[in-house]
């Protein structure tokens, strides 16, 4: 086997290995769907985008993300921390408190979500028009 063929075979093997390691979110039982759910849940999106501003304590996040209960915020933060998107740091001060910030991986996800959130806010009047048209058509 020539050196060129050997190098090509090695590259093909590496590409094949990478494809096998890559998640397949469209496959029903792929565990990446759980992560997709954590990131794209209503509270997950809002928390990740909020943390783009920097480190926040739990109470500040709860005030900033309107409508979220303590329980849902805690569950969301736990899931995002488990997925490696949010860093949770417990400060041993009086009174003790916990701070949350984005990991580099979380920042990547949050920056992509921010584009979607901005698009929704910018286009909401058009979305409302479409909703109203659909309501009228259904009536």
30-138, which class in CATH?
mainly alpha
Give the pLDDT confidence of 25-76 residue by residue, as tens digits. Answer: 888 988 999 999 999 999 999 999 999 999 999 999 999 999 999 999 999 9
For 62-85, write each residue's pLDDT tens digit: 999 999 999 999 999 999 999 999
The model's pTM is 0.81
Are 95 and 107 a contacting pair, CB within 8 Å?
no
Separation between Cα atoms, residue 66 and residue 104, nearest integer Å: 25
d(CA 58, CA 97): 8
């Amino acid at each position: 086997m020539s050196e060129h063929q050997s190098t090509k075979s090695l590259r093909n093997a590496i590409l094949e290995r990478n494809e096998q390691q890559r998640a397949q979110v469209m496959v029903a039982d792929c565990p990446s769907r759980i992560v997709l759910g954590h990131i794209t849940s209503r509270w997950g999106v809002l928390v990740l985008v909020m943390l783009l501003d920097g480190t926040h304590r739990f109470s500040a996040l709860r005030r900033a993300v309107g409508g979220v209960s303590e329980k849902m915020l805690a569950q969301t933060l736990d899931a995002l921390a488990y997925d490696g998107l949010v860093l949770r740091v417990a400060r041993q001060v009086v009174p003790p408190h916990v701070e949350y910030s984005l990991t580099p991986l979380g920042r990547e996800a949050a920056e992509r979500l921010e584009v979607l959130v901005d698009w929704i806010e910018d286009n909401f009047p058009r979305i409302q028009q479409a909703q109203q048209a659909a309501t009228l058509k259904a009536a």
